[in-house]
Amino acid sequence: MHTDARTLENGALLEGDLCIVGAGASGITIARELANSNLKVLLLEGGGFDFDPQMQELYRGDIIGKPYYPLQAAALHFFGGTTNHWAGWCSTYEPIDFEKRDWVPHSGWPIRREDLDPFYARAQNVLELGPYKYDAADWKNDDPDRVPLLNDSHVVWTKMWQFSPPTRFGQKYRSEIVNSANVHLYTHANVVEVEANDGLTAVQSVRARGFDGRELRARAKRFVLACHTIQNARLLLASNRQARTGLGNGNDLVGRYFMEHFEMPAGELAVANPRTTKTKLYQLAFPGNTPRGELALSPSAQKEHRILNGTASVEPGDPADQVQGTFQFIDTAMITAMRKWELGGKKGPPPIAIALAGRAPRASGPPRFFHLTTRQEQAPNPDSRVTLSTEKDALGMPRVRLDWQMTELDKRSMRTFYEVLGREMGRTGTGRVQIRDWLLSDDRSWPSFISGGWHHMGTTRMSADPKEGVVDANCRVHGLANLYIGGAAVYPTAGAVNPTLTLVALSLRLADHLKTTGPW
């Protein structure tokens, strides 16, 4: 069922069993899992079915830390959420990503990788990813030319990726949601406050507001906030009428530990014997479903060198073409496309995927030189955070301020990665690695623009101990009996690879938890 909330009377009261706020990758996944159950599910989406500049403007915020993409371009505010323009790159987090690493402050999840394994396999289908195979050896069986660059190393291994079409949740799953008998989707229902009981032990309702000032309330037995990392934190912090510092924020942790993935051109690789060295495994066939490998360091190498997890993509290119690193180019293209798109008032996703596919460097014949582009987790950092601004948006909600900050461990890890990789390439006679100048400078200095992957994580991190995080291992906000968070906001650490496969897996796990536990 679907209702445009603008057609409701001011003061309307909606009642259900479960109320999900936000219909993006996480919210739609949870709603689909609960479709055809006995539960009445309210799915409140702030936007409509299409891009609307007025709605998107609600995401604008201040960047007060390291330079970052404009927030109103870094996530999308309509049905389907940011999957309306995501690129579809997917891979699984590794067991080490969930572990407490003594060299990474604030690391460690209260769940292990094996807890997510069955949900990863299911998430693979949700994202239309093909077979659940992330071992390079499996792909070699299909095509003997797909061989890792370093086959026998215990230091370097090949991490596999797969590519979603990319699944646009708003298009792919719209009719399933709208035609569901027990899921009631309300569009244009922008939630501006989460309301708790007097004792602040449970949530009673959420309050939504339209541009014309009309309001509605939704009451339910349980609630899930699935508004994306920055907006989830904003909503909790802005719900400060009853709890002065915001709901779930008794330990001043909501909004902290904001993390991104560094995606930065960092080095060059010259292979020793281009005629016989096969690099097919690493080549990008995008868009499409062809798997692709990236170079990664083993868990033991990460431990030995006390560094973060990361990978390097291997893109054929001219060695003189250093400044035009692939991801620098991608970021520029994306920002330009987003701005043009906004200024032109166009609807629908911008043609970023087409732009990338058309302009990505191509090699003719066996390539010898490759650009190495880092993809690395950012160390969890309490000073990297989202807070509220004094400025309000058109609905009267405080805007956000993003103070994105990094640590010396972030940069040292990136440089050490290439030093170790270079040694392995030399030792095995595979090739030589050159590290870019910016990475050789001291660990506190960064280039003028630090390129992130448009991946927002942290802000309501998961922890067993309420003093160390905002949600528990089931994504329930510590201290609030019936409030859950969906999405990458709950990640305590960022993992080396893109977040959406993992957040869909976690959303499936949360849906199972909601289905199988009461009270209903």
Ligand X SMILES: Cc1cc2nc3c(=O)[nH]c(=O)nc-3n(C[C@H](O)[C@H](O)[C@H](O)COP(=O)(O)OP(=O)(O)OC[C@H]3O[C@@H](n4cnc5c(N)ncnc54)[C@H](O)[C@@H]3O)c2cc1C
Residue 29 or 416 having the CB closest to ligand X: 29
Residue 235 or 247 having the CB closest to ligand X: 235
Q: Record the tokens describing residue 13, joined without a space.
A: 């009261």
Residue 147 or 400 having the CB closest to ligand X: 400
List the one residue from 75, 183, 196, 510 that touches ligand X (CB under 6 A). Answer: 75
For residue 331, the minimal CB distance to ligand X (Å) is 9
According to DSSP, the residues that pair with 484 across neighbouring strands are: 224, 476
H or E segment to which residue 186 belongs: strand 183-187
On whether the CB atoms of residues 341 and 73 are closer than 8 A, the answer is: no
List the one residue from 16, 61, 81, 210 that touches ligand X (CB under 6 A). Answer: 81
List the one residue from 223, 370, 454, 491 that touches ligand X (CB under 6 A). Answer: 454
Distance of alpha carbon 418 from alpha carbon 376, whole angstroms:
12
Distance of alpha carbon 338 from alpha carbon 85, whole angstroms:
10
On whether the CB atoms of residues 489 and 380 are closer than 8 A, the answer is: no
Residue 416 or 500 having the CB closest to ligand X: 500
177 binds ligand X (CB under 6 A): no
Identify whether 144 is preceded by a cis peptide bond (ω within 30 of 0): no
Identify whether 466 is preceded by a cis peptide bond (ω within 30 of 0): no
Distance of alpha carbon 107 from alpha carbon 67, whole angstroms:
25
Name the pairing type of β-strands 203-209 and 215-219. Answer: antiparallel
294 binds ligand X (CB under 6 A): no
Residue 257 or 369 having the CB closest to ligand X: 257
349 binds ligand X (CB under 6 A): no
Options 60-68, 220-228, 364-372, 427-435: segment touching ligand X (CB under 6 A): 220-228
74 binds ligand X (CB under 6 A): yes
Distance of alpha carbon 177 from alpha carbon 500, whole angstroms:
20
Q: What is the largest CA-CA distance in the chain?
A: 73
Query: Which of 98, 62, 478 has the alpha carbon at shortest distance from 252?
Result: 478
24 binds ligand X (CB under 6 A): yes
Options 21-29, 111-119, 430-438, 465-473: segment touching ligand X (CB under 6 A): 21-29
For residue 387, the minimal CB distance to ligand X (Å) is 17
- φ/ψ of residue 293, rounded to 5: -105, 155
Residue 94 or 268 having the CB closest to ligand X: 94
Residue 231 or 374 having the CB closest to ligand X: 231
List the one residue from 19, 25, 42, 483 that touches ligand X (CB under 6 A). Answer: 25
- The helix, strand and coil proportions of the chain, stated in percent and rounded to the nearest 5, come to 30, 25, 45
List the one residue from 317, 398, 458, 487 that touches ligand X (CB under 6 A). Answer: 487
Options 82-90, 241-249, 274-282, 283-291: segment touching ligand X (CB under 6 A): 82-90
238 binds ligand X (CB under 6 A): no
Q: Which amino acid is at 16?
A: G
153 binds ligand X (CB under 6 A): no
Footprint of ligand X (CB under 6 A): 21-27, 44-47, 74-75, 77-79, 81-83, 85-90, 190-191, 226-228, 231, 235, 334, 454-455, 487-488, 498-500, 503
